[in-house]
Amino acid sequence: MSNTPLMPKATAVWLVDNTSLTFTQIAEFCKLHPLEVKAIADGEAAQGIKGLDPISTGQLSREELERAQADGNHKLKLQESKVKVPQTKRKGPRYTPVSKRQDRPNAIRWLIRNHPELKDSQIIRLVGTTKNTIEAIREGTHWNAANLTPMDPVTLGLCTQVALDSEVQKAAKYRPADQQQEPVADMRDQLIPASETSVLAESHESDADDSSAEVDVDAVFSKFNDLKNDSDDKEE
């Protein structure tokens, strides 16, 4: 709250005309010079200004005024207003300091590249830009497109990490299913089912049995003996 009363000169005129306060007390309360208050009292200043009662406007209590009139050294204290004026929330794109506006295109480029799921309205809320600028950067028609370098808006100080994460999470909820992250390939597509492996195992065992059954041991030894006898006859 300001420590200066509304319409200080009009308040000083009223205090000069309606109280026994000293020029110094009035000057300190109205933030004027004592000589200026004296000029008002002498009719040399503030001519034509209608006095404003600080008591009726709630800027000064009657008890405070009486205390100051009784004590010339007492300094008047401005009464705190009982009416609280709510601060209206500013709508539209967030304000970006002039010193950081040159970094906005780089931040927009970064957001478009790293978070394509973000809507234009979300980018506007994050870095305080316009839809036309976003469209120009996205299509490469921005006047400085050749020199733009993607830069994290959080690092640039254009938005907070909390705000960025919040917008990304909101965008993820409405992302189309075909843009969702593809799941890791199922290992079952790369492995042979157990039913097939058991069939293959049985097949190998059957082939092994058949091959062992076809071998005639006696015939093998007989052939070996015949070859040995032939070799002995040649040596004689």
Question: Which residue ranges make up each domain of the chain?
Answer: 8-70, 98-177
Average pLDDT value for residue range 190-204: 53
- Exposure of 137 in the CB half-sphere (CA atoms within 13 A): 23
pLDDT in the model for residue 189: 42
Residue 234 has pLDDT above 50, yes or no: yes
For residues 158 and 104, is the Cβ–Cβ distance under 8 A? yes
DSSP characters over 185-232: PPGGGTS--HHHHHHHHHHHHHHHHHHHHH--HHHHHHHHHHHHHHHH
Higher-pLDDT residue of 160 and 192 is 160
Window from 65-79, 124-138, 191-205 with minimum mean pLDDT: 191-205
**pLDDT tens, residue by residue, 39-66:** 999 888 877 888 899 998 888 889 999 9
CA gap 31, 24 in Å, rounded: 10
pLDDT in the model for residue 16: 92
Nearest to 110 by CA among 160, 149, 147, 139: 149
Window from 28-32, 82-86, 228-232 with minimum mean pLDDT: 82-86
46: left (phi over 0), alpha (psi -120 to 50) or beta: left
Q: What token pair was written down for 72?
A: 């010339």
